[in-house]
C-alpha cells in the first residue's frame, strides 16, 4: 500500500480503500459534517459510519458538499443492535439510505453478533438479518456485506444458513490487542480485517514504548499505529475531528517499521485495554 486510494480486494472483487475515516463518537451536526469534509479534502475516499453512531445524516451531507461523484467514495454503515431479524433489517436499511440520501451502500455490516435484546436467540436473529443482507446485496443495493465484532463461533453459526460468506470482519485491532484467533479464522474465510479504534481510543499516546518509537522514526504516535496496522495487513479506521490530525493521519506511506518493531508493538498486551466480549455486552 502506497497511498490512501490503494485498495484491498474483497472476496467478491470489490475494491476497498486501505484506510478508512472513522466517525464513532463524532456528534451529529456541524462537527461531523466538517470532519468528514476535512477527511475527503485530505484524500480519504473511504468513510465508516453506523446506525448506532447517530450521524449518518451528517455523513450524507458531507459527501454531497464534497462535490465528488458518489462512485469515487466507499461508504460503510452498520446495522444497530435493536434491529436484528429479517423484517427489521430491511426497514433499518431503508432508514439508513434515507438518512444518507444515497441509492446504494458500498458495505453494510452486522454491528454486533449477540445484542442483549436477542441474547436467547441470537443465532435465529442473525440468520434472518443475513437473509435480508443477501437479498439487498443481490439487488445491488449493497456492494459488499460483512460483520463486526464476530468471533469464530458467531461466523460458524452464520454460515450454517448463509449462501454468501461475509467479506469483512470489523473488529478492535490496535497495539497490544491483536485478537489472533479471530484474525486467523477470518482470513481463512477470505475476509478483510478492518481495525476500529486503531489508536486505542487515545490511550496509546500515554504508552512509553510508543513514545520511543515516535522518536526513532520521526513520526507521531498516531502515524506509527496506523503504519503498524497496515503492515499487519489490517484496514485501519482512524477518527479525528481536528483538521491537522486528520491530515497527519494520512501521512503514513513514506516510512516502514522494522519487522521486529511491528512484533514488539503487537506484544504490548493490554497497553490500551482489551476488546469487549460480544457475548457479554449489555447493549
Task: Please give the pLDDT value at position 27.
Answer: 92
Task: Please give the pLDDT value at position 202.
Answer: 86
Is CATH 3.20.20.100 the classification given to domain 7-266?
yes
Cα–Cα–Cα angle for 31, 211, 213, nearest 5°? 110
Q: Which of 8, 44, 53, 86 is catalytic?
A: 53
Q: Say how far apart CA 23 and CA 102 lie, in whole Å.
A: 18
Query: Quick check: 224 and 210 in contact, CB under 8 A?
Result: yes
Q: Say how far apart CA 223 and CA 128 lie, in whole Å.
A: 40
Q: Burial, 108: exposed, middle or buried (Cβ in 10 Å; 0-12, 13-18, 19+)?
A: buried
Report the DSSP beta bridge partners of residue 146: 109
53 a catalytic residue: yes
Domain ranges of the chain: 7-266
Task: Please give the pLDDT value at position 235.
Answer: 98
| Below-50 pLDDT ranges, the chain | none
Q: 145: helix, coil or strand?
A: strand
Task: Please give the pLDDT value at position 113.
Answer: 98
Amino acid at each position: 500500500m502506497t497511498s490512501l486510494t490503494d485498495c484491498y480486494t474483497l472476496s467478491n472483487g470489490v475494491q476497498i480503500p486501505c484506510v478508512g475515516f472513522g466517525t464513532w463518537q463524532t456528534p451529529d451536526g456541524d462537527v461531523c459534517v466538517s470532519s468528514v469534509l476535512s477527511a475527503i479534502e485530505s484524500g480519504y475516499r473511504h468513510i465508516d459510519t453506523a446506525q448506532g453512531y447517530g450521524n449518518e445524516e451528517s455523513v450524507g451531507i458531507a459527501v454531497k458538499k464534497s462535490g465528488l461523484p458518489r462512485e469515487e467514495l466507499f461508504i460503510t454503515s452498520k446495522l444497530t443492535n435493536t434491529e436484528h431479524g429479517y423484517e427489521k433489517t430491511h426497514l433499518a436499511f431503508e432508514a439508513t439510505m434515507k438518512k444518507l440520501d444515497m441509492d446504494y451502500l458500498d458495505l453494510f455490516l452486522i454491528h454486533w453478533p449477540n445484542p442483549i435484546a436477542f441474547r436467547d436467540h441470537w443465532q435465529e436473529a442473525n440468520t434472518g438479518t443475513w437473509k435480508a443482507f443477501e437479498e439487498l446485496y443481490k439487488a445491488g443495493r449493497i456492494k459488499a456485506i460483512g460483520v463486526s465484532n464476530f468471533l469464530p463461533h458467531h461466523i460458524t453459526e452464520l454460515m450454517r444458513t448463509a449462501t454468501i460468506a461475509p467479506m469483512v470482519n470489523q473488529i478492535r485491532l490496535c497495539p497490544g490487542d491483536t485478537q489472533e484467533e479471530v484474525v486467523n479464522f477470518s482470513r481463512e474465510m477470505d475476509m478483510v480485517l478492518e481495525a476500529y479504534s486503531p489508536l486505542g481510543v487515545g490511550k496509546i499516546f500515554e504508552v512509553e514504548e510508543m513514545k520511543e518509537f515516535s522518536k526513532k522514526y520521526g513520526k507521531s504516535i498516531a502515524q506509527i499505529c496506523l503504519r503498524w496496522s497496515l503492515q499487519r495487513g489490517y484496514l485501519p479506521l482512524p477518527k479525528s475531528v481536528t483538521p491537522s490530525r486528520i491530515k497527519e493521519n494520512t501521512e503514513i506511506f513514506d516510512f516502514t517499521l522494522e519487522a521486529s518493531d511491528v512484533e514488539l508493538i503487537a506484544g504490548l498486551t493490554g497497553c490500551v485495554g482489551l476488546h469487549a466480549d460480544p457475548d457479554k455486552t449489555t447493549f
